[in-house]
Amino acid sequence: MKTLFSVDPWMLVEETLHREDMRLAESMTSIGNGHMGMRGNFEEAYTGDSHRGTYLAGVWFPDKTRVGWWKNGYPSYFGKVINAMNILSLRVRIDKEDIDLFRDECVSYRRTLDMRRGVLSRQFEIRRGEGLVSVSFERFVSVERPEILAVRCRVTADYDCRIDLIPALDADVTNEDSNYEESFWLFEGEDEQDDLLTVRARTKENPFGTPRFAVCCAMAAAPFGEPKKDKTQTETGYACRRLVFEAAAGETVGCDKFVCVATDRDHTEETLENAALTGAAAALEAGYERLLREQERGWARRWDKADVRIEGDDAAQQGIRFNIFQLFSTYYGEDARLNIGPKGFTGEKYGGATYWDTEAYCLPLYTAIAGEEVARSLLEYRWLQLPGAVHNAQQQGLPGALYPMVTFTGVECHNEWEITFEEIHRNSAVAYAIYAYTQYTGSRAYLESHGIDVLTGIARFWAGRVHYSKRAGKYMIHGVTGPNEYENNVNNNWYTNRMAAWVLSYTAEQLERVPEAKRRELGVTGEEIARFREISENMYLPYDEELGIFVQHDTFLDKDLMPASALAAEDRPINQKWSWDRILRSCFIKQADVLQGLYFLEHLYGKDVIRRNFEFYEPMTVHESSLSPCVHSILAASIGDLAKAQEMYRRTARLDLDNINNDTRDGLHITSMAGSWLSIVQGFAGMRTITGELCFTPQLPQGWTGYAFKIVYRGRLIEVNVGSSGAELRLLSGDELTAYVNGEPQHLTIRGL
């Protein structure tokens, strides 16, 4: 575990240049605005180890994956996010020699990520032969003008020198995550118009018929000081402006760089270049200071609803704000064609695609602190991709819809059989998200217009995927991987079976409630609804009477059972130390499996049932998935084990800040960041909405003197404050409401009315 940044409630501050941990620092200082984002790479030249990455939402490429063991039903490609044009580049030369913090003697260094404003800055001083050179950079991607990147650079030397500043656009980039070490871009031209430079590129042709993407970046630069020379240069895939200053000792020079990134996802082919030029020109006219004020106001509006305040624990405070900041930097619901990749804009691992993490972990957060419309966009994403899910099921010879494990379009693009086609439980998370959203909002509008289409497709898949065991007189599901990915190809995973049964029952209930015209549109008959119910009521659910627990799968109890605490320190983490065969044969659990089902369906089970299963499974859980700690934190709080709940909160809140899993250098764990909010709101505060009422059972973690958060709930804005004397709920806007705290009703009205 390694922490590079000091603890501060609103900042990440790095006081030392960590050349040996540059990739880790770059991940930590990533920024984004939903349209695009980038790792915390340096603007100037850096020849040391680094992972340079800038990514555009919805822009991806189908990388080749066919190998010797390819079989019928496999996807043809692995979709992955691709490194986009380097729009950050702003080289600094002193007397014709590049500043390079890998080679230069660094006298002082400070890098700061300001989460309140969404601004990344650096200040450093280097020693050159003639004296000292001070450099500062500041940048942000605008949340008010999503296609705009703004960069400010200032340079001061304590001796007379020539200073060259070279802001540039560079399309000659490659991916680290590429099977064939290839570039995914074709250069389509560079141009100069009225001091604006453009570079155009397009993704290469591919044999799979997936969309190609065109990108045009336009750059403007405003000098600070009077350059002796000011000229432009273009070559294939590259355009720059060279500002040359003859600076006296102590004189500060610099430039502000503005880039507009336009793609053909948002503009037509004919208007693409003009859109980029217009955006860059408007940013130049507005100027850096005005754009910065817009940025500050935009983030202030977001934080006004989303901020969680923790008193008495600065590390916990920093953790929750960092996680919310990175989530909102990745997605804020403006485009229903987009979703939340596990790494967001912070790295290439997991291909930058959509996983079931969104429905299982992110949707509740966005519903409560961004608003119902933002959350609805996440649901509509899956509805828009229903045809792809139908295709996936048909590839397996099954009816209905199989939502993909990994996707950009709805079509599966991941090629590990035991994950892609056995971890089919993700289908139920998509259905559960519709249920949770409907219960939270109190509105059936989405369910009846779009959600029922998705539910019916998923239910039909489950009805086709089960088989009937004559010996047991039950329906079963064989050959699956549950949420615990450390077991593959098991039979009757309890979570998979239980959630499939719940989906079938819930879908049958909703089909009987929607208008008859909708049922006819879906081709649903009374016989099909009855079959959904019959399967649900007769699903086999492994259970052990002696232990009083749900059994993770048919043969789990035949394993050599032992707690994770029995593992030697040198064996942890097992996913980095053990062979895959040894992991699969062990009893150790990667993340919540049975407990994931009890988290979703908590309202159907008593505390004693949850406690028995928690006390049996949690000790065997190694928490080597970033998604694991939050579910355990919430359930631990629910059964009164506040110490375990707090331990798991710390793990999910500071997973990346403290590099707990030793893999943050590859990018942040974006989707699991929602878990820190869930751990506070659903865990410590005990918020529940699944029964249609707003309820809280608040607890105060040890060392905290209080915490507070706001939620958007059915058109209302409510603030919840928890302290040593109990909990206070305040209605800040909207109609009066009755909520429940520890089972007691509280009637909320706006004060003064």
Three-state secondary structure call for residue 4: coil
Query: Helices 386-395 and 452-465: crossing angle, nearest 10°?
Result: 10
DSSP per residue, 426-457: HHHHHHHHHHHHHHHH---HHIIIIIHHHHHH
Q: Which of 554, 532, 535 is nearest to 543 (CA)?
A: 554
Residues 6+ apart with CB under 8 A from 556: 487, 490, 542, 587
At which residue do the structure tokens 């549950």 appear?
482
DSSP per residue, 453-520: HHHHHHHHHHHHH-EEETTTTEEE--SB--S-TTS-SBS--HHHHHHHHHHHHHHHHHHHHS-HHHHH
- Residue 349 DSSP label: G
DSSP per residue, 95-129: TTEE--TTTSEEEEEEEEEETTTTEEEEEEEEEET
Count CA atoms closer than 13 A to 565's CA, side-chain side.
4
Q: Which of 375, 561, 394 is nearest to 465 (CA)?
A: 394
* Amino acid letter, residue 597: G
Question: Catalytic: 485?
Answer: yes
At which residue do the structure tokens 């500062």 appear?
136
Give the active site residue among 125, 138, 423, 485: 485
At which residue do the structure tokens 């291909």 appear?
351
CA 342 to chain centroid: 5
Cα–Cα distance, 533 to 694 (Å, whole number): 29
Do 633 and 652 meet the contact criterion of CB atoms below 8 Å apart?
A: yes
DSSP per residue, 174-197: --SS-TT----EEEEEEEEETTEE
* Cα three-residue angle 425-431-435, rounded to 5 degrees: 135
Q: What is each CA distance from 316 to 9, 10, 505, 629, 652, in whole angstroms?
A: 9, 11, 40, 15, 10
Count CA atoms closer than 13 A to 483's CA, side-chain side.
31
Q: What is each CA distance from 503 to 268, 461, 485, 494, in whole angstroms?
A: 41, 11, 22, 14
Cα–Cα distance, 659 to 472 (Å, whole number): 47
Do 669 and 630 meet the contact criterion of CB atoms below 8 Å apart?
A: no
Catalytic residues: 485
